[in-house]
Structure 1
Amino acid sequence: MNLTRQLTADVELRLVRPSDAESFCAAQYRCREQLRPWEPVRKDEWYEPAFQAARFQAALDNDLIVPWVLATSDRVIGTMTLSNIVRGPWRNADLGYWVDAAEVGRGLASAGVAAVCELADTELLLHRIAASTLVDNEASQRVLQKNGFTQFGFAPEYLHINGAWRDHNLYQRILNKREPGETSAGR
């Protein structure tokens, strides 16, 4: 299974490696104010490479998660994650993503989401991807809509973000109409 895609000449979507921890922590720490309104409150350990290396390895060892990074030749500049993967008749996963504040405006979030959707369809053989955004996160909503996601619901007090339970808009994208177990080629 090939879960890597080249997004631009200098940015690759690839599975996270424990060795990415130091670069990830530096980017997260540098962008902590940008991320604060959109993420859970982070404890100090979040910015420690040893903690992240262990978290990355645990994610790689978990069949219910596919953790990617957006990476240049020398640093991590974002993440894309499919989590809560369900096989069988549902064939569903939840999408989360983040791009370094210094890289915003290059279309990397949209390109990454497009690549993840393609991989979820052709390699992971999923049927549906769900995502949620805070109701006022218009930038993330544009990324999802640009990639064929449609809003299907509203969830009051859905996630604990920035120190409080926050309302979210719920989105989904149907990837295909295949029967469960069929390959992307329909065989």
Structure 2
Amino acid sequence: MTLPVPLVDGVTLRLLRPDDGPALAAAYARNREHLAPWEPVRPDAFWTAARQTAQVGVALSEHAAGRGCPLVLDDDGAIVGRLNVSDVVGGAFLNGHLGYWVDAARTGRGLMSAAVRAAVDLARDDLGLHRLQAATLPHNAASQRVLDRAGFTRIGVASRYLRIAGEWQDHVLFQRILDDPPTSTG
């Protein structure tokens, strides 16, 4: 797959770049309230361009080492979402974790559904993975619809899986076996 990938409404999915720190900080700041129920509590430094620039460096190092693929949804230079394949494990597992978010002003337009479908292709064809897994809070129906549309299947519930919004919360677990045809009902 060749990046960037055109998605919806002129937005493209592309690899994170070293100079994305300020744009990423702006995207996170713009979406701070929108993301708060779905993410860990963040320290004040998280929201700064300096911290995001440092995080970009870490993410690109992980990418260079084959342990992740940090992507952004780009609308003419403005970052309007993130999508990451992280914790990539090779060997007999060939697995990665999928995480994503989209700008509050862009929800409900099919943008993340298109991005996740592109990430499935990227994980299979470019990263050589066999499986992607994802987890959502039980009440995050929108994210569960995105995964369903991309052919993920629900495989269970993990109790107190992640500390989100300051509390250990259960998560619904999903997987997509990348060699299998999608099983989407959406």
Give yes or no for TM over 0.5.
yes
The letter for the 2-side match of 1:14 is: R
Alignment partner, residue 184 of structure 1: none
- Give the whole-Å Cα distance in 2 for the aligned partners of 1:100 and 1:149: 22
The one of 89, 92, 97 equivalent to 1:94 is 97
Alignment partner, residue 83 of structure 1: 86
Percent identical pairs in the alignment equals: 48
The alignment partner of 1:46 has SS state of helix
- Give the whole-Å Cα distance in 1 for the aligned partners of 2:3 and 2:136: 25
Mapping of residues 46-125 of structure 1, within 5 Å: 46-62=46-62, 63-125=66-128
Alignment partner, residue 14 of structure 1: 14
Contact kept, 8 Å, 1:2 with 1:123, in 2: the verdict is: no
Deviation digits for residues 79-133 of structure 1, max 9, x if unmatched?
0000110111111000000000011122111010000001111111111000000
Deviation digits for residues 167-186 of structure 1, max 9, x if unmatched?
00000000016xxxxxxxxx
Alignment partner, residue 161 of structure 1: 164
Aligned-pair distance for 1:3? Answer: 4.0
Contact kept, 8 Å, 2:135 with 2:172, in 1: the verdict is: yes
Contiguous gaps of at least 5 residues in structure 1? 178-187
Aligned-pair distance for 1:10? Answer: 1.3
Alignment partner, residue 139 of structure 1: 142
Contact kept, 8 Å, 1:59 with 1:65, in 2: the verdict is: yes
Contact kept, 8 Å, 1:3 with 1:123, in 2: the verdict is: no
The letter for the 1-side match of 2:60 is: L
The letter for the 1-side match of 2:122 is: L
TM-score by length of 2: 0.91
The alignment partner of 1:10 has SS state of coil
Alignment partner, residue 182 of structure 1: none
Contact kept, 8 Å, 1:67 with 1:80, in 2: the verdict is: yes
Number of residue pairs matched by the alignment? 177
Contact kept, 8 Å, 1:18 with 1:54, in 2: the verdict is: no
Q: For residues 136 and 64 of structure 1, do their structure 2 counterparts lie closer, same or farther at Cα, with a shift above 3 Å needed? A: same
Alignment partner, residue 180 of structure 1: none
RMSD of aligned Cα (Å): 1.2
The letter for the 2-side match of 1:11 is: V
Contact kept, 8 Å, 2:159 with 2:170, in 1: the verdict is: yes
The alignment partner of 1:24 has SS state of helix
Aligned-pair distance for 1:27? Answer: 1.6
The answer to which of 95-104 and 17-26 deviates more is: 17-26
Deviation digits for residues 38-88 of structure 1, max 9, x if unmatched?
000011111111111111111111121110000011200000000110111
Contact kept, 8 Å, 1:109 with 1:143, in 2: the verdict is: yes
Contact kept, 8 Å, 2:82 with 2:100, in 1: the verdict is: yes
The alignment partner of 1:25 has SS state of helix
Contact kept, 8 Å, 2:8 with 2:110, in 1: the verdict is: no
The one of 114, 126, 130 equivalent to 1:127 is 130
